[in-house]
Structure 1
Amino acid sequence: MAWFYLIIASFGEIFGVASINMYLKKKSWRWLITLIASFAFGFYFLALAMEDIPLGTAYAVWTGLGATGAVIMGVVVFKESMNVIRALFLTCIICGAVGLRIVS
């Protein structure tokens, strides 16, 4: 169940970052409250996940999923550009969060 909580927590980060973008564009109280609520939601589920998952692992996975989701949301929802360099760094984030090991 802790891993499920961690995935839910990453959605809090993803929507929190999207809310930052919307707040910067519209400067409304609605988006500021949405931003705070999204991050609070994410932190709550991160705390639940960290009851069973070690801090280093939970934080790495949470930030990796959150950063990846935020980039994908930026490209899909906010029409940000996707190029080879951005895709390369996104792949590095995913591999770092997953812990991909290259064997030679």
Structure 2
Amino acid sequence: MAWAALILAGICEMVGVAMINKLHQDRNWQSAVLLILGFGASFVFLAYAMETLPMGTAYAIWTGIGASGGAILGMLFYNESKDWKRIFFIALVLGAAVGLKLVS
């Protein structure tokens, strides 16, 4: 259950990151509320996961999902570069997260 909470925390982190960009573009209250809810839920799920998982592993996975997911969302929805080098390094981050899961 801790791993599911950690993945959910990472997804909520992605929502928060996307809403930072959206708020910067639109300046509306809906984006601000979603930003707060996304990061708030992310911290709650991360705290729950860290009751079971080692702190270093949980934090590394959480930041990996958030950073990779934010970059992917930027490519999909905000017309950011889809260069193969960028995709390669995102895959490395995700591969490292899977590796941490395998050794934890």
Same fold (TM over 0.5): yes
Question: Runs of at least 4 residues of structure 1 off by over 3 A?
Answer: none
Find the counterpart in structure 1 of residue 43 from structure 2.
43
Find the counterpart in structure 1 of residue 63 from structure 2.
63
Q: What is the TM-score normalised by the length of structure 1?
A: 0.87
Find the counterpart in structure 1 of residue 28 from structure 2.
28
In 2, Cα distance between equivalents of 1:25 and 1:72: 18
Find the counterpart in structure 2 of residue 12 from structure 1.
12
In 2, Cα distance between equivalents of 1:77 and 1:84: 17
Name the aligned partner's letter for residue 49 of structure 1.
A
Unaligned runs of 5+ in 2: none
In 2, Cα distance between equivalents of 1:81 and 1:56: 30
Superposed CA offset, 1:47-87 (max 9, x none): 01001001000000111111111111111122222102211
Unaligned runs of 5+ in 1: none
Moved more, 66-75 or 35-44: 66-75
- The aligned runs of 1:65-84 (5 Å cut-off) are 65-84=65-84
Identity of aligned residues (%): 45
Bigger Rg, structure 1 or 2: 1
Pick the structure with more helix per residue.
2
Alignment size in residue pairs: 100
Find the counterpart in structure 1 of residue 3 from structure 2.
3
Is it true that 1:93 corresponds to 2:93 in the alignment? yes
Taking only aligned residues, the RMSD between alpha carbons, in angstroms, comes to 1.4
In 2, Cα distance between equivalents of 1:98 and 1:56: 14
- Give the superposition deviation at 1:27: 1.2
